[in-house]
Structure 1
Amino acid sequence: MTTDLPRGRAARSRRRLHAPLPAAAFAVLLGLSYATPVHAAVAEEEPPQLTVAAASRGVLQTGSSLTATLTITNPADEPLEGSSARLQLGRTPLADRDALHDWLEGPDPEVELTPVGSGPADDIAPGETDTVGITVAADHTALAGLQPGVYPLRAQYGEASADTVVVVPQAAAQPVGLVMPITAPVADRGLLDADRLAQLTGTDGVLTAQLDAAAGSEAILAIDPAIPAAIRALGETAPVSAVQWLDRLMLAPNDRFALQFGDADVAAQLQAGLTAPLQPLSLEGYLPPEPAEPDPTPTPTESPASTGDEDQDGLDLDELLDIGDDPGSVYWPVPGHATAAVIDGLHAADPEAVTLTPSTATAQGAELAGVAAAGVTAGGGAALVYDGSASAALDEVAKARDEGERATAAAAAAAELWFAGRDVGGAPVLVALDRATPALAAAADETTGEAPVDLEAQLDEALDVVTLSSAVEAQSLSDLLDAQRRRIAPAENAPSDVRTTFVKEIGDSEQRVAHTATVLETPDVLTGLVRAEALQALGVGWEQRADEWQDALGAFRQRTRERANAVGIQDPTPVNLVSAGADLPVWVRNDLPYPVTVTLHADPQDLRLDVADEKTVTIQPSSSTTVQMPVEARVGSGNVDIELTLLSPTGEVIGPRQTVEVAVRADWERIGIGILVVLVVGLIGTGIVRTILRRRRTTAAAARETDPDDAPEAQDAGDAPDADAPDGADAAVTDPQKTETHPDA
């Protein structure tokens, strides 16, 4: 480094620069030692939380005072000093829904606001909440001359602020219909069992909360018929709470329509190529077993035919699925998938069909514009169009846990309805709660079926936005169906490949199981299970739960394989046939929970073996049995294959054919019998000879004892005189040593 200063001046300059360094270093160290306490002293406190709700869910009738409630929460660790809360109102209405959303999502500095009132707030302890009510008199200049519209409203407390809206309605009430689903959490079986029903219909159950909220309202109920069917199918074994819930449902005065069984998606079915939606086949497989009769002996009046007729009367499918006064033919596909082809396809299958679809899935409502409730496609398909944006706002009301949040969401929903009514010019508007919202999106515990303690309040508030609003005239289902229809152009959304693929699988699954079901007295018992489970797997509720849905589909496919292969011949083992005739044992299994009737057919592949053609047996549920097939060997020996086939009463081949190898050794039996005969004859002959000889010896010994002098020295039974010889004739001498020849011989 070089410098232009003289050497002396440079040295003095360096000394002047170095002189203050110790003092500066000390100052720095001293400052570091106090840095942390100073920083802590200036730490900012957490600001208060503020919400605001206008009275009457934000609806302000002309000539009425405006009342707003401010809720202030202190989240800090220090007390919040009392201050004044202020209320400001914008006198220029919001132009459209976009402006509404912008206002509610954050402060908009371009909106001109007018102070309309204030109120004092007390000191608030840490973690506590205080409320401040502010009322603006009806004759306040800020309220004078307000025309129908949606106006911005802001509350401030210190640095905190909260925004909401006030709705000034039209002079005539807006006709609005509200659809509320009555659905259970998604299931992977055809019907809910008794334990699940007890949970869902208990005091804190999801179904109970839904029905309690709907009671006394003018909501149109969209009911999954699988719920009442599950309760009725259980009969006397149904939980008491479920029976009471069903009684309340049937007595409720609300208009209603039935969803498809299991709330299945009809759009995917038509997009997969079906000409009409699938319907349940039979629910008999879900009925509990009948109790055993005390006296098993049948009486003359208890014939099988009469018992079957009585049972069938109790198993009427329409009665199981009954939901009350249902107009029928109302369908609700997955939102956004009701294309023109789907709506027109339903109309072609059923001229009375009406399809629910959101306005956001139509060309008319694509830009958040309102669409009249009654619509019709160019192809003549009828539709009920519910306002997508207003419905989403109602869903937010139902989801909100906090009372203040619910009130704010309710005001936003009332504003959405005002815009929808303005767009349709007084025609009826329809809104609908999402099927996932009432029970599941409210964070219900699906493992137990228990709902949050405030679920009923959440649903009540959502319904009250429509049914208790002074700006709304609630519409019945018949009012909506009879309204003047306006042309709509449904959006052409691409179908769900996963759903349509599964729909195509359903037909194949049912055919495979139906083939096996022919072994049953009532095949629909088994095929009905498959259809019910398939419809449940198509439930709309799975739309937001893709991972769990894939697991449910895998379980369905596994059950299909098990049912299709539930009856069959077990793998046979080779058999040795060493006799001319015997019974060939064949094991047949039945993995179904029902008795089955099958015919075992045997076909020998060689003339050396003769087998009974077939034998019919009944196999009890979940068991195996042995079928004894008579077998007879003809001529010769060798290995013979017998092909075994299991047939249903209708002649269908059940399970794979099996082949059993029989080693025929029929000649061994003949040879063995011959040897045995020879042995037996030899033994018998030897025994006879020995017996005769023994008797002769015994006789000779007895003679010697009687006359020892006359008895020859050695005589056996063969030396006795001939009884036929004449008197005085000489007897032949048997001993050769004593035999003499007569002189005259």
Structure 2
Amino acid sequence: MFDASRPRAPRFILSLRRRATRAGALAVLAALATVGGMHSAAPASATASPITLANGIPTGPSVLGFGDALANETAVDLVADDGGLLTSNAALKGTLVIANRTSQEVAAGAVAITVEQAPYANRQALTQADQSAAASGTELIRVTTPAVPAGGRVEIPFEVAATSLPFTPTSAVGAYGLHASWLVDDETTARGQTTVVWTSDTAAAPKISTIVPVVAPLGSDTLLTASELEALTQDGGALDQLLDAVEGHLVTLAIDPRLIASIRALGTDAPASARNWLVRLTESEHDSFPLAFADANPTLFTQSELSEPLVPTGFHFVSDAHAFTSDPTESASAEPSASADPGATATTAPPTPTGTAPGETTGAPSVNDLTEFDYTRDGLAWPLRGTIAAADLPTLASWSPSGIVVASSQLSGSPSCAPVAQVGGTSALVTDSTLTDLAADAVFAEDALGRSDAVSTLTSMVAATTTGNTATDCHLVVALPRIALDDPANVAPLLDALDQVGLSTLSELPAVEGGPPAELLPGAVAASQLERYRALLDAEPVGVTYAHLFDNATGAVDQLRVELIRLASASWALSTQNWQSAAASYLDRTTGTPTKITVANGSEVQLIGHQISLPVFIENESDYRVTVVVTLHPTTGHLDILEPTTITLEPHTNARAQVPVEAIANGITQVVVTLTTTDGVDLPSSGRIAVNINAEIETVIMWLLVGSVVLLFGFGVFRTIRRRNRTAGRARIRAEVTQSTTSTDEPSLESATDTASTTTKS
């Protein structure tokens, strides 16, 4: 959806693309013999045994060449080594792949390999070659084949000595058809075809300029995380391998600024491997130019009727959590770790040249600080193939005065060997669509056999282009895929093949100026994708309006813009389902989050007292941590709201906000609850709460409590006085008894006791 439908290659090219096999499905190759010899009365032969899995079971159906995708078919394919390039005194080596897709065993036989006597006249002749046609030309070798069981396949290496090849120094340079006929009982069971390229040191070789995009996986985050960067840039990581692959080759790097910003925005917490890799990229001697941020497709912007391309407004959503040097482009002075605490301040050490990345400072870096790079040439607007409309050209020219990049498949009338053309008055760098597709096959190959096959097809197409071109100066431009490569090591063999003496010479990109006129064929961004992206554009200002829901409002605004640009990336072209999911997430954050913060319904609240807090329950069903302001609006004069309350809610949680109020009168009333952002923007949700106010009960209870305290105090005083009187009476009696005892010589204890008792009673 994100790209126009990819032009379908001719059937022959498609058949060649299907030859790659999966290395994981193969285990043991037994009893293979390779024989080379001169073709005389009988061709040389070779024998082989079927490839089996580790458990001894023959391999099942595999993706092969012509006819292999059909049921009840047999197939044979040839894959030439070394890109199919042949020079003086060089043997022809390769691999035969035979497959039995029928339900019956195919008996033992042989494969006859034949080379044609003349090269293909041009590209059209090569792409329209009939692979099923009977072989003609010189038979080079016969390779003995074993019986192949139903559903089985066999790989057989072969070699033809240089002395057996029908080429001489005077032979025409070009791509020659190489045919294979699978013979069983002298009957042809299957036919296959590939090409080889005969080259000469004196041949006029075309120039080939190769654009190598330096991009990273889109990932699930707006910028790449520290862990992702460490995995990509460590020894053996994909980005590390990519720089290894282009080293020593004359190529032009097209660099995504998102990659640079992802490293620098981490400040002192950027992984050491990422900083070192950035130093290596900076010190590279390759020509380079910047892609649009996130390699965004500019025609998506033009056809969305934007007056200017989208650019980042900042990276505060990442950079605010990290520390930086005064110059974010200088080498960091600390050894950061991907697992470091994002909020921690790194300790400094003596400067060491460990990588271009931020160090420590209190200042926030600008967009330019985090994306700056010393490119050797100005950026070029590079729309996705097939998406350029004629109305886009003036806008693209104004956005990119240095020129645009156009695929040859969308042009008509431009010479095949012209790297630059004038398209609608705009200077355009023309990439060769056919060679670009074949280069993609090579770098996406899953194993060595598939890569050799793709490279061989590419070199043959280059040779056929040269053969059919009458211009004295042929210059072709090849662009590698604009997505992160699973195996960047495949790039090196491709570049090696394109830089062969007699075939082609790697060259710098030409200046994008002048060139013959060419007509732009109609193109457009897919209607469904364009409609969806326009909805995303409309959602951005909504998200900006509610940015203060989040802890870092400035960072939230920055992230919305950068994510919107990321959603225009060319890398989504091969992953439309994931693009739909990412677009839905963007809409959910911008327009969905405000609707998912609601006031919870509850029962009537009993409010007792004059000044008290009224509880309000708020629910957050979004995926984000948010902060809202809860404000109450009384519908009668029973209540006075003292002040709003601010509350923070974690994702998918609810919380209680305590809003201070003052009761004015008793009775039942309703309170309207509204939610706003911290800067006062209303949220869609509101609610009503029924409140039963009993303000006087507080006074009654207070007086009851005071009365109780007074009664308790009085009762305590009474008991204290009574206790004191009782003590005094007892002391008086004892004194009287003592006096009576003294006045009589022998007083009766009993009478004294009686007297005391009588006195007490009285």
Establish whether TM, by shorter chain, passes 0.5.
Answer: yes
**Are 1:265 and 2:292 an aligned pair?**
no
- Amino acid paired to 1:179: I
1:178 to 190, 207, 210: 210
Q: Give the match's secondary structure for 2:128.
A: helix
Question: Is the 2:386–2:524 contact (alpha carbons within 8 Å) kept by the matching residues of 1?
Answer: no
Give the conservation status (yes or no) of the 8 Å contact 2:299–2:383: yes
Q: Which amino acid aligns with 1:317?
A: V
**Shift, 1:525, TM fit:** 0.9
The letter for the 1-side match of 2:435 is: A
Q: Which residue of 1 is the match for residue 461 of structure 2?
A: 416
Question: Paired residue for 1:545, among 546, 562, 575?
Answer: 575
Taking the TM superposition and a 5 Å limit, the aligned residue runs for 1:371-450 are 372-378=418-424, 380-401=425-446, 403=448, 406-418=451-463, 420=465, 422=469, 426=473, 428-436=475-483, 439=485, 444=486
Cα distance, 1:561 vs structure 2:
5.2
1:244, CA displacement in angstroms? 3.8
| In the alignment, structure 1 residue 352 sits paired with structure 2 residue 401 | yes
Runs (5+) with no aligned partner, structure 2: 1-48, 51-73, 149-153, 322-340, 348-359, 737-762
User: Once superposed, what is the RMSD of the aligned Cα atoms?
Assistant: 4.8
CA 1:370–1:108 in 2, change beyond 3 Å: closer, same or farther?
Answer: farther
Cα separation, 2, equivalents of 1:650 and 1:107 = 73
Partner Cα separation in structure 2 for residue 700 and residue 135 of structure 1:
143
2:245 to 201, 207, 213: 213
Distance 2:108 2:231 in 1: 44
C-alpha separation between the residues in 1 aligned to 2:715 and 2:522?
A: 106
Q: Which residue of 1 aligns with 2:4?
A: none
In structure 2, what is the Cα distance between the partners aligned to 1:576 and 1:229?
56
2:253 alignment partner AA: L
Establish whether residue 250 from structure 1 lines up as the match of residue 276 from structure 2: no
1:399-438, CA deviations, whole angstroms, 9 ceiling, x for partnerless residues? Answer: 44565654454343234334556276625321112335x7
1:51 maps to which of 72, 78, 83: 78
What secondary structure is seen at the aligned counterpart in 2 of 1:518? helix
- Alpha-carbon distance between aligned partners in 2 of 1:403 and 1:701, rounded to the nearest angstrom: 119
Deviation at 1:337, TM superposition (A): 0.8
Paired residue secondary structure (1:535)? helix
**Equivalent residue number for residue 530 of structure 2:** 500
What corresponds to 1:664 in structure 2? 693
- What's 1:583 paired with? 613
Q: Write the distance in 2 (CA, Å) between the matches of 1:329 and 1:236.
A: 29
In 1, the alpha carbon distance for the partners of 2:158 and 2:312 equals 54
More helix by share: 1
- How far 1:178 moved relative to its partner? 0.9
Report 1:329-368 matches (<5 A): 329-348=379-398, 350-352=399-401, 354-364=403-413
Match of 1:285 among 314, 317, 341: 317
- Does the CA contact (< 8 Å) of 1:55 and 1:68 recur in 2? no
Letter matched to residue 113 of structure 1: G
Matches within 5 A, 1:50-129: 51=78, 53=80, 57-58=84-85, 67-71=91-95, 88-91=115-118, 93-103=119-129, 106=131, 108-109=133-134, 113=137, 118=140, 129=156
Comparing 458-467 and 552-561, the one that deviates more: 552-561
SS state at 2:613 partner: strand
Q: What CA distance in whole angstroms lies between the structure 2 residues aligned with 1:566 and 1:312?
A: 36
Q: Compared with structure 1, are the counterparts of its residues 353 and 613 closer, same or farther at alpha carbon in structure 2 (3 Å cutoff)?
A: farther
Measured against aligned partners, the alpha-carbon deviations of 1:566-623 in whole angstroms (never above 9, x if no partner) come to 87766676433332222334566889999987655443222232222446x5859779
SS at match of 2:514: coil
Match for 1:665: what amino acid? N
Structure 1 residue 498, shift from structure 2 partner: 2.6
Correspondence 1:517 to 2:562: no
Distance 1:424 1:52 in 2: 31
Partners of 1:492 and 1:280 in 2: how far apart?
31
The 1-side partners of 2:452 and 2:259 are apart by 32
Change (3 A) 1:143 1:629: same
C-alpha distance in 2, partners of 1:424/1:549?
A: 44
**TM-score normalized by the length of structure 2:** 0.67
Q: State the alpha-carbon separation in 1 of the partners of residues 299 and 445 from structure 2.
A: 31
Q: Secondary structure at the match of 1:383?
A: strand
CA gap of 1:199–1:685, structure 2 versus 1, over 3 A, is closer
Q: Shift of residue 359 of structure 1?
A: 0.6
8 A contact 1:199–1:205 mirrored in 2: yes
Letter in 2 for 1:372: A
C-alpha displacement of 1:205: 3.8
CA drift of 1:207 comes to 3.0
Secondary structure of 1:542 counterpart: helix
Query: What is the alpha-carbon distance in structure 2 between the residues aligned to residue 80 and residue 642 of structure 1?
Result: 91
Q: Secondary structure at the match of 2:405?
A: strand
Structure 1 CA distance, aligned partners of 2:278 and 2:502? 32
> Per the alignment, do residues 704 and 599 of structure 1 end up closer, same or farther by CA in structure 2, a change over 3 Å counting?
same
Residues 1:319 and 2:366 aligned together: no
| Cα distance in 2 for residues equivalent to 1:393 and 1:321 | 32
The structure whose Rg is larger is 1
Aligned equivalent of 2:221: 189
Query: CA distance change for structure 1 residues 648 and 403 in 2, over 3 Å: closer, same or farther?
Result: closer
1:742 equivalent in structure 2: none
The alpha-carbon distance between structure 1 residues 319 and 681, as it changes in their structure 2 partners (threshold 3 A), is: closer
For residues 345 and 632 of structure 1, what CA distance do their matches in structure 2 show? 62
SS in structure 2 at match of 1:319? helix
Distance 2:346 2:477 in 1: 57
